[in-house]
Amino acid sequence: MDTVTPKTCYGLGPNHVVMGTQQYALDVESIRADFPVLDRQVGGDVTTPGPGEGDDTPLVYLDNAATSHTPEPVVESIADFYRTYNANVHRGIHHLSQEASVAYEEAHDRVAEFVGADGREEIVFTKNTTESENLVAYAWGLAALGPEDNVVMTQMEHHASLVTWQQIGKKTGAEVRYVELDDDGTLDMDDAAAKIDDDTAMVSVLHVSNTLGTVNPVEALTELAHDHDAYAFVDGAQAVPHMPVDVGEIGCDFYAFSGHKMCGPTGIGVLYGKEAILDEMQPYLYGGEMIRSVTYEDSEWEELPWKFEAGTPVIAQGIGLHAAVDYLEEIGMDRVHDHESALASYAYDRLTEWDDVTVYGPPGEERAGLVAFNLDSVHAHDLSSILNEYGVAIRAGDHCTQPLHDELGAPASARASFYIYNTREEIDALVDAVDEARQLFA
């Protein structure tokens, strides 16, 4: 039942490790050893999982904003649960159920500590960030919002936030407003101050844009919301995996993120909510596990956070998320941030060397660890297909930010996103492959 932790201390403090001619704030070589998938050769038959006949190109995985890979210690923690104490939680007196219940509850405690929450009561496990957004929108929004209210978002919102509050606005009559962007892809804070007013009930914003790489001033936006007695919801799907996050310092009322973007398993997300607010909210889903007592006439809900986790919860995923948090903290979130920032800045500088490449968002030193770009006269899907021939895996499309792409005047973009195991040599491979596409379409 013990959580598996990394065997090596991957953060090197002031002593940077050298790989080839490049210096890193992390021991990237040791980290990469925990991710066997990074040794894959790609090509060959893509109709069946795993290595296929004809695979001969080294994988360069630069699609981490979509999902990160899962290190061996996390995989082992999940396998250990299934092998040795697999049981349902909170329902059995027998030994395995007790072990599983303790591990699942400790996972809540560990995640609470990781993001600066006051305790497990403020940590609800969902299946992803999208479900966390919907939980608040339906459990709070349907009851609290009306035609006299407004919800304020930004033009860079992911569909998980934008579509959810848009549709809740249609159901309740609440107005939905969008804070505009400056030319460099950052928020126009004067516009934010104008749009957040005394009729605002919720301000829902991204911490980090998954398209622009913009790091939003969530503390200032939370303060603006609270100045007008509104709640603040922060979508941290692209922040928690990549930088230190403390919800207490931010001051927000809700914060959401996903496990699969931070070395954890798929199928688990987290909703942080202030205990007093969660306590007042009615459940979003009903059924087993979330009840204290039931009669034919009525039901009473379980205590936090369980009243929001109906049915058999995400037990193995929660245990895996616990291991992922341990893994990242062993590395050090400051070092994770520094490493990715250096990679993003390097990628930005390399890609902006060409006049026929457009890079979206703020300058390299001011962005998070991703770069979205377009090559003139080449659709992002075509560019991604060419890069795939060189083993370079990126994302192509609107990245679930279709309205933002409309604002950018681009139907889609190519996005390279970085994580703890990526290197400058891999960015060089990306740039070389883009250059091959430039020559092909010249």
pLDDT digits (tens, 9 = 90+) for 283-333: 999 999 999 999 999 999 999 999 999 999 999 999 999 999 999 999 999
Same domain, 142 and 108: yes
User: What are the residue numbers of the active site?
Assistant: 400
Residue 25 pLDDT level (bands cut at 50, 70, 90):
confident
> Does residue 4 lie in a domain region?
no
pLDDT at site 366: 86
Which CATH number fits the domain that encloses residue 123? 3.40.640.10
How large a percentage of the chain has pLDDT more than 70?
A: 92
> Does residue 172 lie in a domain region?
yes
How large a percentage of the chain has pLDDT more than 90?
A: 88
- Residue 348 predicted with pLDDT over 60: yes
* b/e code 142-157 from CB counts within 10 Å (16+ = b): eeebeeebbbbbbbbb
pLDDT at site 206: 97
Residue 268 to residue 394: CA distance in whole angstroms: 23
pTM here is 0.93
- Residue 11 predicted with pLDDT over 60: no
Neighbours of 312 (CB within 10 A): 13
> Does residue 151 lie in a domain region?
yes
399 lies in which domain range?
17-70+331-440
pLDDT at site 5: 40
Domain end (from 305, 330, 355): 330
> Does residue 131 lie in a domain region?
yes
Same domain, 109 and 230: yes
Domain end (from 283, 310, 330): 330
Which CATH number fits the domain that encloses residue 55? 3.90.1150.10
Residue 424 to residue 94: CA distance in whole angstroms: 52
Residue 256 to residue 322: CA distance in whole angstroms: 16
Structural domains in the chain (count) = 2
Average model confidence (pLDDT) across the chain = 93
Rounded to 5 degrees, φ, ψ at 329 are -70, -30
- Residue 23 predicted with pLDDT over 70: no
Answer whether 404's CB lies under 8 Å from 156's CB. Answer: yes
* b/e code 225-262 from CB counts within 10 Å (16+ = b): beeeebbbbbbbbbbbbbbbbebeebbbbbbbbbbbbb
> Does residue 125 lie in a domain region?
yes
- Residue 254 predicted with pLDDT over 70: yes
pLDDT at site 16: 40
Residue 364 pLDDT level (bands cut at 50, 70, 90):
confident
Same domain, 380 and 301: no
Same domain, 277 and 174: yes
Q: Model confidence over 63-122: pLDDT tens digits?
A: 999 999 999 999 999 999 999 999 999 988 999 999 999 999 999 999 999 999 999 999
Same domain, 126 and 228: yes
Residue 3 pLDDT level (bands cut at 50, 70, 90):
very low
Report the candidate in 235, 40, 282, 56 with the shortest Cα–Cα distance to residue 128: 235
Same domain, 215 and 229: yes
Same domain, 38 and 161: no
Domain end (from 310, 330, 350): 330
